[in-house]
Structure 1
Amino acid sequence: MIDSTDARLLAEVQRKANITAQELGEALNLSASQAARRRARLEDDGVIAGYRARLDPAKLGLTVQAFVQVQMAAHNADNAAGFVRLIATLPEVVGCWTLTGEADYLLRVWVADLPALNALIHHRLLPHPAVARVQSQIVMDQPKADAGLPV
């Protein structure tokens, strides 16, 4: 069970993954050891699945974020498996979802510039035999940054 203290702990860890037990304890009105034990329990239970650093795309030369919808040529297990294998080889694809509706997959991509997006679409995605159609939307701005889960 997740109680209100656990929910506050999860919110703090999502806000700052490298928060110390001391800082966590202060935020939760617990001792550092109590906060550390709670965090360890949530990690052991798989509620906290891991930790990641958030990098600044612009400082890495990644200036274009886009969402790419992919429609499959045929819906079968071999096509799906082949497409998923392709996606796993593309570091520009930072997220992939299967969807209901017209598109079968939604890809979130980060690339250096528009020519790089064009190359990804025309030289990597469209040539794949499982892909029938690709449609992209370029992100102009992100008024709300990626956030943690609501706890």
Structure 2
Amino acid sequence: MPRLDAIDLRILAALQADGRMSTLDVAERVGLSPTPCSRRIRRLEDEGVIEGYAARVSPRALGFSICVMVSVRLARQGPDGHDQFLSAVERLPEVSECLLVTGSIDYLLRIWVRDIEALRAFITEQLQSIPSVAETSTMVILGDGKGQASGLRGGEVRIGRP
């Protein structure tokens, strides 16, 4: 595990706030000159602390107005059931997150859709048609716990294939 000092943490915070920030701006923000700041950023990238840079795309701007969490319980608990499920989910662009969890369910999915009809079609025609899926339960996201309505901030939608 990489050792991070206070300056590394400030660099990470600055880049999380704005991944397009120039090295000069990051250096000014954290109190370093540009060359050592650049070296630290490169080290954080090389050590895998910084995994990459990406644009956050607004789901609402793309017409995705409904975000739901779907819990999934698999019919087959062995590796084959999990592999079959994960392979199928990878091909579903509506799925923005797929989390393996403990408890009475196996997976928790974050799904973005345009409307209720699209949600119905996704669940009944795509998700529940995966042979290893035994049961699903859907929860509509009404807000993010910080006073924001669903889809107004945060979240992620997949555009095309990575």
Please tell me the TM-score bracket, short chain as reference.
Answer: over 0.9
Partner of 1:91: 93
Question: How has the CA–CA distance of structure 1 residues 15 and 44 changed in structure 2, closer, same or farther, with 3 Å as cutoff?
Answer: same
Residue 76 of structure 1, CA deviation:
1.1
Rounded Cα–Cα distance in structure 1 between residues aligned with 2:73 and 2:107: 7
Kept in 1: contact 2:58–2:154 (CA 8 A):
no
**Superposition pairs of residues 37-116 of structure 1, within 5 angstroms:** 37-116=39-118
When normalised by structure 1's length, the TM-score is: 0.93
Residue 142 of structure 1, CA deviation:
1.9
Rounded Cα–Cα distance in structure 1 between residues aligned with 2:154 and 2:119: 22
Q: Which amino acid aligns with 2:79?
A: A
Could you say what the CA RMSD is over the residues aligned between the two structures, in angstroms?
Answer: 1.3
Partner of 1:135: 137
**2:13 corresponds to which of 4, 11, 14:** 11
**1:22 corresponds to which of 3, 21, 24:** 24
Q: Secondary structure at the match of 2:8?
A: helix
Write the deviation string for residues 42-64 of structure 1: whole angstroms up to 9, x where unpaired. 00111101111111111100100
Unaligned runs of 5+ in 1: none
Residue 111 of structure 1, CA deviation:
0.9
Q: Secondary structure at the match of 1:54?
A: coil
Number of residue equivalences: 147
Q: Secondary structure at the match of 2:108?
A: strand
Residue 143 of structure 1, CA deviation:
3.6
Residue 146 of structure 1, CA deviation:
4.7
Q: Which amino acid aligns with 2:125?
A: H
Which stretches of structure 1, 4 residues or longer, exceed 4 Å deviation after superposition? none
Q: Which amino acid aligns with 2:38?
A: A
Question: How has the CA–CA distance of structure 1 residues 9 and 18 changed in structure 2, closer, same or farther, with 3 Å as cutoff?
Answer: same
Q: Which amino acid aligns with 1:33?
A: T
Rounded Cα–Cα distance in structure 2 between residues aligned with 1:9 and 1:113: 39
Rounded Cα–Cα distance in structure 2 between residues aligned with 1:60 and 1:143: 23
When normalised by structure 2's length, the TM-score is: 0.87
1:118 aligns to 2:112 (yes or no):
no
